[in-house]
Amino acid sequence: MREIIADVLASPIPVIGYVAPSGAHAASAGTYILYATHIAAMAPGTNIGAATPVRLASDTGLPSGTPDKDKKDGDRQGEPKEPWRQRRRMMPSAFIRSLAELRGRNCRLGREGGCVSRHPLCHGALQANVIDLMARDRPSC
């Protein structure tokens, strides 16, 4: 996801993100990528959201999804007292907020609960300034 976003941000020509066909959704990494695009468009009947990151690999050395029972918040060497879990939730929120601000889009949704959690439908996303336009097909973008 970060490599794709880096390519979008470095592109010398505008990149259009388009959520289609009707019934499709941009979720998880797709939400971040759509926020990074120069022009964000959605087809009617689509939605965007659920950008809560899913941990695919563990930075604790434990298999993914395994609780880190031996470490308590703030117990890691050199870590401040602030809970590491809270910081882990804040990083994705800050990332999507920075993408939204870069593109002049609504970043409030990116701050609520650390994720885009409301699943705005295409009309709602347009009204909330999460996307730039609605388009029935690619030529309409």
Ramachandran region, residue 107 (left: φ > 0; alpha: ψ -120 to 50; beta: rest): alpha
Instruction: At 121, give phi and psi (nearest 5°).
Output: -70, 170
d(CA 127, CA 10): 28
By annotation, the residues acting in catalysis are 28, 69
Separation of CA 9 from chain center: 15
Instruction: At 102, give phi and psi (nearest 5°).
Output: -60, -40
Where do the H-state alpha helices sit in the chain? 2-10, 29-36, 84-103, 108-111, 122-127
How many residues in the chain? 141
